[in-house]
Structure formats: structure tokens, C-alpha cells
Structure 1
């Protein structure tokens, strides 16, 4: 039996809902295409546009590569590395790490879910809302780039860092945050200067709680 016109109207989706569904299916197709394509393991952050509303500013290739190499060296054999809000470093790590090294990306931007189980959705506003597979004090190195230059963001991100880290911490942020970084995490400024693909108004610095192998010219 055919339904009435009134019933048909009740089953119709709104234009907004249809648009949302279309966006979901498009993103799903893109993820599946990347996963099945020959370049999945080389998925380039450069292929993802920076979203300034998410305070995203990609590192230059040289900086991302230098930080990735430092992370591998610092984590050691069978190392575990957590990249928190630093997808450009994670992408470089993907092309460098051996099978005995474990790397996770904690990131708010769900576009990076193409990395499968290595991607962990992360919102600094809920610093300890983490999956069980990220065990407390289980990472040899936690490499971090807090998304915002604010005390609130740093303090909340620090909760994540202190939960994950069993030792070494490497953090990149604005030079204006130096006093707070020292106060909250006990990190010291390094000579290495991170650079970005785009010029930023704020000078960026690198901080660590160990002697990193990078110099200012790396």
C-alpha cells in the first residue's frame, strides 16, 4: 500500500542533513582511496591544507625532518614516540622509523584518521580522555606542539604530557611561553629554532628536559 503524501514528507531529509551525509560519504571515500592507494604510507601532510581556525601551521620540511630524526634518536631501540598536535613531524617519522619503533599521532583534526590505529583523536580541553592503549608513562619521548599560545592550553596539554611520558619531553611553542614552559613542565630552551612553511608573527622556540642533538642550524 502506498503511503500518503504526508507520510512521504515526513520521511524526506532536510537539505542540511543531506549535505552533511554527502560530506561524510565523500570523506569516507577519500579515506578508503588513500588506504588502498600506493601512496598511503607516504600520505603527505602537505596534501592537507592548514586550517588556521584550528591554529594549524605546518613545519618546514627541514624542521619536521630534524625533529623526526631527533625523536628516533631520543626514543632509542624499541622506542615509543607520541606526537601531540604535531602531524608534520609524525608524517616524517612514518618514512623513517624501523619496525621496532612505535609512533602515535594525537591530533584534533580527524582528517588524519587515515593513519588508522596510530591516529588518536585528541582535544586538549579533555587532556586525559585517551584510549586504553595509550598506557600511563609508556612513551620514551613525547613530542608536542600545543595548538595555542595560552596558559590554559599549555597547562591542559601538560597533563597529557605528564600522563604519557616516562622521561623525555620535546616541546615547540612560541618564545613568549618560555617562563610558563619552565614553570609548568621544567623544560629548558634549546638552541634549535623551529621554522614553518609560512611566516608567523610569533618567534618559535624548542624546549626539552634532556640534551637534544640538534643545534640552531639543523
Structure 2
């Protein structure tokens, strides 16, 4: 999520990264021989936690699961999914998706997520089209976006990113107060499913899509 002061961005030290790698290596060793994991797979679930100081407000497990299931369904077998400022859903996708089911990337301002290797794409919503060269336009079957701030300026810029990434399908999670702006920018409609966060936020949040969804009932 975005913050104006780079000095405030929390990072993992080399010592901490090494400890995490040792921990996951030990877990893999205990589980016995099997398919080797890539770095992004080793750190797929729970290696990075919520930081509300960076406007990170993560979903409950039930909500993250529902959104991940929706994305996997819409992406299809072997599809590509982009999670824009939605790291808790990215982690749930890595937990649920089989190795060949779908590929997933997370676009985040928080550089702690670089431990996910090639899955991580640095992203500052203030520069919506300033992405890594490896990110090709219109290369994702479905894009989930959760703008870090409830403002027209933020949603407008995030929408530019979404349009650049998406082949067509868009799932947007933001405050209910952004409904009209979201419709104007992304031609999305509100769903009946109500996303919930681990923290009790004062603003009502909703999901919006530009397609028909059975899981989100819209």
C-alpha cells in the first residue's frame, strides 16, 4: 500500500530473511522428499503480516477464501491473476491454487513482499503505469484491485493500472461510497457479498465486478 515517506516502509532484515528461509527449509525437510518449491512457494502463506500504518487492512479468512475462489473460477485452468494492493487475497490464492491451476502476482508498495520472488511487482498507485517491464499489458485473465485509500484520485489511478493489466474481467473491493465513481471508471456493478476485514473498519466495504458472478451473487 502507498505511503508518502519511503523511510516509513517496514522491511525485513537479511538476518530475518535468512531465518525465514531456514524455517521453511526445515519444514520441507520434515515433510519428506517431494516436489521442490520455488522461493515464492516457500513464502506463500503467512510470511508477511498486515501493517495498518501502510493502509493495509486485511480480510478475514472467510472473505479472503471467497475472493480467492472467485478469482480462480474466473481465471480458469492455467489462467493468470493479478492482485493489486490485495496481499491477503494473494496469500490465500497461493494456499488454495494447485501448481498448474493458475499463476498469481501481487502488486504492492510494501517491499517486504519481495520475498515472494517473481510473484512480487513493486507498485505505487501514484504512478499507475510505472510497472516492471516483465508485466505485459492485458496479460491477466482477471484482476483484483483493493485501492489503499477511499478517494476518487486513488481509485482513478488504480483504475488505470487495472485497465492496463486486464484482459477484461475486473473484481474491485472498495468502500460503498465509491460505487458511482467505480461504475464511471470501470463499468462495474455492486455485488451482494459483503467483504469483512480482520479489523472493524468504520466504512462499509463492497465488491464490484464487470461480469456475472455466482459466488459473489451479482
User: Quick check: which has more Rg, 1 or 2?
Assistant: 1
Q: Which runs of 5+ in 2 are unaligned?
A: 1-6, 28-41
Task: Say which of 4, 11, 15 aligns to 1:29.
Answer: 15
Cα deviation for residue 42 of structure 1 reads: 4.5
What secondary structure, in the 3-state scheme, does the structure 1 residue paired with 2:121 have? strand
Distance 1:77 1:212 in 2: 17
* Structure 2: distance between partners of 1:77 and 1:93: 14
Tell me the number of residue pairs that the alignment of Structure 1 and Structure 2 aligns.
192
Change (3 A) 1:36 1:154: same
Where 1:200 maps in the other structure, the secondary structure is: coil
**TM-score normalised over the length of structure 1:** 0.83
Q: Is the 8 A contact 1:34 1:114 kept in 2?
A: no
Match status 1:89 vs 2:80: no
- Secondary structure of the residue aligned to 2:138 is coil
* 2:45 aligned with 1:43: yes
Give the SS at the match of 2:14: helix
Runs of 5+ consecutive residues of structure 1 not aligned to the other structure: 1-19
The structural deviation recorded for 1:198 is 0.9
CA–CA separation in structure 2 for the residues paired with 1:215 and 1:135: 28
SS of the equivalent of 1:58 reads: coil
Match of 2:164 in 1: 163
The RMSD of aligned alpha carbons is 1.9
**CA drift at 1:121:** 1.0
Match of 1:188 in 2: 189
* Aligned residue number for residue 73 of structure 2: 73
Q: Structure 2-normalised TM-score?
A: 0.83
Deviation at 1:215, TM superposition (A): 4.0
Q: Which has the higher helix share?
A: 1
